[in-house]
Structure 1
Amino acid sequence: MESSDGHSRRTVLRSLGAVATLPALSTLADVAVATPAQDDYGPLGRLAVDGTTEAVVSGDVAYLAVTDGFATVDVSDPASPSLLAEERGLLTGRENGPLQQVWDVKVEDDRLLVAGPANGRQDAVNALVLYDVADPASPERVGVYETESANHNVFLADGVAYRPNNYANGTESENELVAIDVEGGEELGRWSPVDADPAWGDVFTGLRPLHDLYVQDGVAYLAYWDAGTWLLDVSDPASPSVVSRVGPYDPADLSGLSQGEAQAENYQPPGNSHYVAVNDDASLLGVGVESWDVDPDDAVGGPGGVTLYDISDPASPRELSTITPPPSDDPTLGGVWTTSHNFDFAGDRLYTSWYRGGVKVFDVSDPARPGVLREWADREAMSFWTAQALTPGETFVGAAENHRSNPGQFEGLVVFPDAPADEQSTRTQTPVATDDGTTDDGSVTPYPPPPTYSSETVTTTGAETTDESSGFGPGFGVVAGIAGTGLAAWRLLGKRDDEG
């Protein structure tokens, strides 16, 4: 169990001129992609902050997760963002403190939720820390809630914190969503796909972690990797109920995989539901896929994109289109990451990040044909964890990260000019065909057949190693103290704690 314890922004540069059609994921390796002319487009301002990963925006303030704490940044002048406060070494006085691997923060009104560590670690304090940020230049801690497992990603809505309880019981974990009143120090409820269908319990834990989540108007949107994306009614957090689900697999498709097949499936699409968000009225759902290529010589795998669903009837999602990723010269785990990461809807705009593939803004006024409005990348200098609207039609921000310690990469907040509010894209992307997972009318077919693999073993080309706990599943580490033949039989050949 868990225990409690006004400056002008209106600076818009000339839009990109060239027309480009982005490649479908299935043909990525064979497509030469034209790079749009963008000599006149680039950042307005930037602020270096060591350890930056996630960024969230509220008003004229950006809140950054900075690996060993958090920072607050004044972005009222987009050309000159300035540091308001920097809090590091959180929970230093606690047993196994300080809080490590702070890769996520969330803000609601005057409350900031700080979470860590992102991955399972031996002898580490696992906790959610709540701050009063009514004065963002002087944050005050108001609550600490120690948790039974790591906190890779979290959410804060209606005063309730939501967290994934991944790998708390090793390979027997149900990977629950847990709802918590952090300020009051009380757990409110929990839920797992195993509650909806016990057959998910037969699927190896590392194929069904709750990677990220988004909560709006009493509905939680849950990215459960190869178990798909779930819509959950949490209007009463103590009694959640399933609304619907989208995803390529039935539990039987995954429970029968061999070790080599499961390892390959964990890295590669389909599946890999990584990040999820909805637009302002929750009529449009975005599901981001984080994936790589296990074997560059076959036609399977590569970086993942963002699929858009019509959820105006949340009980019957309809797939509309997929925004495809920038290409990579080396799409393996140890190579150049251009896969989808975190994103943000604001009005008819979708702000996306693609690690070293940069940031892109899409016009989603017609979500069946998303159009590119702005894009920028400097693959040598910056890798982006997220993109967030600042003032739609004027500015947005990107969080530049370097959690893989690539030499020379900038870490901090970058402010970009947005397309004017009345601009619509003439660079419409041809949507990816929906011939696997949907019918001709666009409605979702829940479980197409799984892919086949030619090998029983997988080599993770170029994968890095760390001294932290290893685990099966992107972005997660099974707690290092958990050992035994069950985990060893499924352990990846490379350490995996470097993925976000």
Structure 2
Amino acid sequence: MQRRTFLETGVGASVALTLLSAPASGTTRTRALESASAAEDGSRLRSRSQSTDAYEPLGRLEIEGAAEAVVGDDGETVYLATVDGFAIADVSDPAEPTLLAERRGLLGGSDDGIQGGDGSENEDGDEDEAYGPLTDILDVKVDGDRLIVPGPANSTRGNEFHGFVLYDVSDPSDPVPAAEPYETDFHIHNCFFADDLCYLVGNGAEGNPLVIVDVSDDEPIEVGRWSLLEHDDRWADVNSILWYLHDVYVHDGVAYLPYWNAGTYLVDVSDPGDPEYISHVADDDVDVESQRGIESFAVTEAQQTLPGNDHYSAVDETGELLGVGRESWAAQPGETEGAGGIDLWDISDRSAPEYLSTVEAPESFDASYRGGMWTTAHNFELRDGRLYSSWYHGGVKIHDVSDPANPEELTWWRDPADAAFWTARVAEPGETFVASSTPAIPNSPAVGALYVFPIESGTQADPPSLTDPEESGRSVELDVEGPETDTETGTEIESEAEAEAENDSEANSSVTDASGAEAIPGFTGLTGVTGGALALEWLRRSRVSGSSGSSRSSRSSQFEADSASSPDPDSNSDSNSNSN
């Protein structure tokens, strides 16, 4: 598969930059980022080469329903999304992480401030404003002493509250509401929070926009929006799930927006009220014309498999090195290839990104979405010349990216029988990083937990195989063949567990999108990417336990004119409106 950089400025002609690379697995294929500097001495990894100790976690804390994790400014407090709320943990003692607080059942009628929004009368005689429950919480972000808790992560058909709540976490052991809930007309899969601005992914709203909300006082207010359609309105003719805005990362006035198959967009948000396009990176094999031609029955496969699949993007502290994680799976059960990796880009000139290398995903015995061993890239952090990455069952890794054209793997730890890692974040620079494990992957025995790891090079003792299901510890009965089929009608038979999870969540596990494409549960409720399916699976497990006690081909290095004319940036279209 090919990947290219579009060098389109917001007002200039369309120009494409592509870089030639030989198909070398897991290695760099271009020159190094010349401006990249070596890691600070204090962040250099210690080595266990002179010790007999194997590399392993320092500590672990089980947290039910764990998903995203972020670290506070003190490097000791970790905030986690937990599907039905959030949790706060103390990792000041890496060997003994402890739970400080949990808040679950948000806006569900409990009695702590805004969570009691059931329309009943408070003790002071005032009436609570009634809110539906806030569910499917897969992300949280912290900015100083405030925490944003958004949701639902996926489209719903019930009365769930859509928006976010803010908490004062100046005392992490006692988080309290900081403002009234902020309601939106779209689900919020992910967000970013910095400098009193909340950046929300607004899928379901017209144009799948980035939505910017000012929360500097007690009454949050929207101050700006930006959509891919402002740059190229031809995407309005493409099924919106193929240009879903999956996440957002903001650094130094620039937002990095992974628009799935449309690529990752760099947008100037230094003036939040007037965001402006800078440039974007995308696959050579995935342009708007190719996406226009995808039939409705093929949408799910096009969305789940490479090329494309820009899922998470972030930059290092210099703002000159960009990582783009591509979450993807194999098209068919039993296929071993298809998991997406992390592409590294030189963006020292933001108007002209240059591809550097790809950190490839670990191989597994089954790379498919349904019943497979997930080893695709998920969330990560770039800091001090290091890439801290999570790969679900594929574990966590540290790479030296001080020469980002030649990433060097320093550490790899995995335990696919118990852990499926959602993210990896630095806690104490040069000393520890944390990683959250999610329990919600289909057909996975993984447990929700927060792990603390040392920042050092090393080798895991007897690492479990990812290519042999028995050696991996995944010798459980997997749904590798897909759902059971009625031999007379040829229709799929929903399992009892799936039906129960569907009923419990008031959501459908198979829905039809605007184009008529039927798809398995996923990040919008339309397709099979992490999100809705994971929440359903976690809910099913919780209920059951309660009742029982990408490899690439060529790249080019020359400039070439984009075949399409520069679109009118003011154009927009109502046809993009997501049906749910």
Q: TM-score, normalised by structure 1?
A: 0.78
Matched, 1:43 2:76: no
Shift of residue 23, structure 1, vs aligned partner: 4.2
Q: 1:90 aligns with which of 97, 106, 117?
A: 106
Residue of structure 2 equivalent to 1:369 = 406
Shift of residue 302, structure 1, vs aligned partner: 0.8
Q: 1:71 aligns with which of 87, 96, 99?
A: 87
Matched, 1:329 2:365: yes
Q: Which amino acid aligns with 1:174?
A: G
Residue of structure 1 equivalent to 2:237 = 202
Q: 2:208 aligns with which of 132, 156, 175?
A: 175
Contact 1:276 1:286 in 2 (8 A): yes
Higher Rg: 2
Shift of residue 390, structure 1, vs aligned partner: 1.1
Shift of residue 405, structure 1, vs aligned partner: 5.9
**For 2:481 and 2:195, how far apart are their aligned partners in 1?**
44
**For 2:394 and 2:328, how far apart are their aligned partners in 1?**
14
Q: Which amino acid aligns with 1:135?
A: D
Alpha-carbon spacing, 1:215–1:83, altered in 2? closer, same or farther (3 Å): same
Residue of structure 2 equivalent to 1:412 = 449
Matched, 1:212 2:215: no
Residue of structure 2 equivalent to 1:428 = none
**For 1:204 and 1:371, how far apart are their aligned partners in 2?**
38
Contact 1:115 1:129 in 2 (8 A): yes
**For 1:186 and 1:469, how far apart are their aligned partners in 2?**
36
Matched, 1:240 2:265: no
Contact 2:91 2:98 in 1 (8 A): yes
Q: 1:314 aligns with which of 350, 374, 379?
A: 350
Contact 2:334 2:367 in 1 (8 A): no
Contact 2:437 2:447 in 1 (8 A): yes
What is the count of residue pairs matched by the alignment? 420
Q: Provide Cα deviations, 1:37-93, integer angstroms capped at 9, x if missing partner.
A: x97111100111111101001121011111111111111110111111111111113
**For 1:39 and 1:199, how far apart are their aligned partners in 2?**
56
**For 1:80 and 1:367, how far apart are their aligned partners in 2?**
34
**For 1:206 and 1:308, how far apart are their aligned partners in 2?**
25
Residue of structure 2 equivalent to 1:390 = 427
Shift of residue 462, structure 1, vs aligned partner: 2.9
**For 2:266 and 2:412, how far apart are their aligned partners in 1?**
30
Matched, 1:105 2:140: yes
Q: 1:160 aligns with which of 197, 210, 229?
A: 197
Structure 1 gaps, min length 5: 1-21, 26-37, 424-459, 471-476
Alpha-carbon spacing, 1:211–1:494, altered in 2? closer, same or farther (3 Å): closer
**For 2:322 and 2:399, how far apart are their aligned partners in 1?**
14
Q: Provide Cα deviations, 1:130-174, integer angstroms capped at 9, x if missing partner.
A: 111111111121121111111111110211111111124xxxx41
Contact 1:283 1:312 in 2 (8 A): yes
Alpha-carbon spacing, 1:468–1:202, altered in 2? closer, same or farther (3 Å): farther
Residue of structure 2 equivalent to 1:6 = none
Contact 2:134 2:152 in 1 (8 A): yes
**For 2:154 and 2:89, how far apart are their aligned partners in 1?**
26
Shift of residue 483, structure 1, vs aligned partner: 8.4
**For 1:379 and 1:178, how far apart are their aligned partners in 2?**
37
Q: 1:251 aligns with which of 265, 276, 288?
A: 288
Q: Provide Cα deviations, 1:195-253, integer angstroms capped at 9, x if missing partner.
A: 11111111111101100110111110001100110000011111000011001232112
Residue of structure 1 equivalent to 2:482 = 462
Q: Which amino acid aligns with 1:89?
A: G
Contact 2:147 2:166 in 1 (8 A): yes
Shift of residue 191, structure 1, vs aligned partner: 1.1
Q: 2:226 aligns with which of 170, 188, 191?
A: 191
Q: 1:491 aligns with which of 508, 512, 518?
A: 518
Shift of residue 296, structure 1, vs aligned partner: 5.7
**For 1:201 and 1:469, how far apart are their aligned partners in 2?**
33
Shift of residue 184, structure 1, vs aligned partner: 2.5
Secondary structure, counterpart of 1:43 in structure 2:
coil
Alpha-carbon spacing, 1:146–1:354, altered in 2? closer, same or farther (3 Å): same
Q: Provide Cα deviations, 1:326-369, integer angstroms capped at 9, x if missing partner.
A: 11111111111000000011111110000000000111100000
Shift of residue 279, structure 1, vs aligned partner: 0.1
**For 1:230 and 1:258, how far apart are their aligned partners in 2?**
26
Q: Percent identity?
A: 45
Contact 2:335 2:366 in 1 (8 A): no
**For 1:46 and 1:297, how far apart are their aligned partners in 2?**
32
Shift of residue 261, structure 1, vs aligned partner: 3.9
**For 1:133 and 1:112, how far apart are their aligned partners in 2?**
7
Alpha-carbon spacing, 1:255–1:408, altered in 2? closer, same or farther (3 Å): closer
Q: 2:377 aligns with which of 323, 340, 347?
A: 340
Q: Which amino acid aligns with 2:211?
A: V
Shift of residue 392, structure 1, vs aligned partner: 2.6
